[in-house]
Amino acid sequence: MSRWVTAGIALLGLTAFMAWDLAASEPPNIYRAPPLIALGSGAAASGAHCAALPSD
């Protein structure tokens, strides 16, 4: 296969995946989203490695 055919198949697959995802999911609720930057807000980080306490 040539490079153009491979790139076309990849773009077609990406477009199909994005169309399926948009059709299958509901739009995000901006009022339930966590703050992007929560400095001084009192909201504690959770669910990620940055929320783990140091072990030493």
Task: Please determine, for residue 4, whether its predicted confidence score (pLDDT) is greater than 60.
Answer: yes
Task: Please determine, for residue 44, whether its predicted confidence score (pLDDT) is greater than 80.
Answer: no
Residue found under tokens 């140091």: 54
Mean pLDDT of 10-19: 98
Q: How far is CA 36 from CA 13, 22, 28, 41, 55, in A?
A: 31, 23, 15, 11, 27
- 22 phi/psi in degrees, rounded to 5: -65, -35
- Cα–Cα–Cα angle for 7, 13, 17, rounded to 5 degrees: 145
- Return the higher-pLDDT residue of 43 and 21: 21
Domain ranges in the chain are 1-26
pTM given for the model: 0.50
Mean pLDDT of 11-25: 96
Task: Please determine, for residue 41, whether its predicted confidence score (pLDDT) is greater than 80.
Answer: no
